[in-house]
Amino acid sequence: MDINGIKSQFPIFSKKINGKSLVYLDSSNSSQKPLTVINRLNDFYRNEFSNIGRSIHSLAVNATNKFEETRLSVKNFINAKFKEEIIFTKNATEAINLIAASFGQHNIKEGDEIIITELEHHSNYVPWHFLREKNKAVIKFAPIDENGDIIINKLKELITTRTKIIAVTHLSNVTGTIVPIKEIVEIAHKKNIPVLVDGCQSVPHINVDVSDLDCDFYAFSGHKVYGPTGVGILYAKKKWLEKLPPFIGGGAMINEVRKDKITYATPPEKYEAGTMPTAEVITFNEAIKFIESIGMNNLMIHEKEITNYALEKLKRINSLKIIGNPKNKAGVISFIIKGIHPHDISTILDEDGVAIRAGHHCCQIFHEKMNLTATARVSIGIYNTKDDIDMLCKGIENCRKVFDLK
């Protein structure tokens, strides 16, 4: 695969950051954008802008059509059965909040149980915590082992007759663990328990087929998939969207409004109140086209190669410890170096133009479990090369030199 050709599609890599070429190893946080995505946003605002939905002039019709084209592309991209099962939100966090609020309103009562895991990002914990506060629900955490794998048997043991939903990540943003979602869904469905999957880290990096996974809800963000910020996607099975109450009220999500009665639109509009991020959703179609132009399998092969190279090289660095060693691992590598705090590592690497993340990565539960306060995290995207990893390792050697480590 011609990685240099792919990399050259990203304008940011031809710029100097602090006078240095950018080595971007923070794609789990957000990915950089290819030119087609950047241009589409600009084009839409320059030449095609209109709000979608109600107006019947040409611009509005065009914008509405383009908006719906993205919905169709997303449906095909994750292999949903119906276009109406794709809801646009602000981000994945809002998508999870939507389900927690709408599902929780009628289905979760005092003493009912929600199962999440110790791997979850705060965005797949805090929305459920709201139900713990409001509805007096109980949250149970499926434990992970020292490798960063969810202990499936323990998760199974947590299920009781009070379990109302299981919410789990598809791919950990700390350890890179790829979670066996299909297995978890099978276990849950045997007891008629729906499953919500946080797909933020999986959709940009592995094949996702929601029909095959058979999960009930799947949430992800556009900005991690080479798309613009402001677009989140919620996939939900049709049966749920028809049954659950709406989340936010306002224009576009209604059918008829009378003084004594309001009826709601059918899904997906029922869940898309007010003006949507029209330009961003339309632009997101270009991000999907970008991934499809490479091919998900090619992308996975390339990222696997760079990840393996990074693991090999990092393991050779004295006093560096990689956190977690899951059975199936994607391109997310968190590590610590004895004697250097992750924030110091990040600041020193930044001087060489190497962008990583340091902190708890919105996963305090995980870090507490592993007895860590913070880690340094490297995450791989399609544009990363072995040279990037060499620059990273050179930067880490520099950190060791600054801190006088042997």
Partner 1 sequence: MDLKQLYQDIILEHGKSPRNFGKCEKYTHEAKGHNPLCGDQVHVYLKLNSEKKLEDLKFQGSGCAISIASTSIMTELVKNQSIESAKKIIIEFINMIKTSSEIKSNDLNEDQKIKIMSLSGVRQYPMRVKCATLAWHTLTSAIEEKKEEVNTEVIE
340 binds partner 1 (CB under 8 A): yes
348 binds partner 1 (CB under 8 A): yes
| Ramachandran assignment for 111, one of left (phi > 0), alpha (psi -120 to 50 degrees), beta (any other) | left
315 binds partner 1 (CB under 8 A): no
Minimum CB distance to partner 1, residue 339 (Å): 8
188 binds partner 1 (CB under 8 A): no
Minimum CB distance to partner 1, residue 344 (Å): 5
The reply to whether 200 belongs to the active site is: no
Residue of 158, 341, 385, 390 that binds partner 1 (CB under 8 A): 341
Question: In 10 A of CB 401, how many CB atoms?
Answer: 10
Q: Which of residues 2-61 bind partner 1 (CB under 8 A)?
A: 18
Q: Which is nearer to partner 1, 364 or 385 (CB)?
A: 364
CA atoms of 337 and 333, how far apart (whole Å)? 13
Question: In 10 A of CB 246, how many CB atoms?
Answer: 20
Residue of 5, 161, 404, 406 that binds partner 1 (CB under 8 A): 404
402 binds partner 1 (CB under 8 A): yes
Question: In 10 A of CB 109, how many CB atoms?
Answer: 13
Residue of 71, 121, 205, 360 that binds partner 1 (CB under 8 A): 360
| Structure tokens given for 209 | 């087929």
Catalytic residue among 200, 215, 362, 399: 362
CA atoms of 215 and 198, how far apart (whole Å)? 11
Angle at 22 between CA 301 and CA 6, to 5 degrees: 40
Phi, psi of 26 (to 5 degrees): -135, 35
Q: Which stretch binds partner 1 (CB under 8 A): 193-201, 205-213, 288-296, 344-352?
A: 344-352
CA atoms of 140 and 156, how far apart (whole Å)? 12
List beta partners, residue 124. Answer: none
The helix/strand/coil state of 109 is coil
Q: Which stretch binds partner 1 (CB under 8 A): 3-11, 45-53, 199-207, 354-362?
A: 354-362
Q: Which stretch binds partner 1 (CB under 8 A): 194-202, 310-318, 323-331, 347-355?
A: 347-355
189 binds partner 1 (CB under 8 A): no
CA atoms of 133 and 129, how far apart (whole Å)? 6
DSSP state of 210: H
Residue of 211, 318, 319, 373 that binds partner 1 (CB under 8 A): 373
Minimum CB distance to partner 1, residue 354 (Å): 13
How many angstroms separate the Cα of 109 from the Cα of each of 69, 137, 233, 240, 379?
A: 39, 6, 27, 18, 39
Q: Which is nearer to partner 1, 180 or 353 (CB)?
A: 353
Which residues here bind partner 1, judged by CB under 8 A? 18, 340-344, 347-348, 351, 358-360, 367, 373-374, 402-404
Residues known to be catalytic: 362
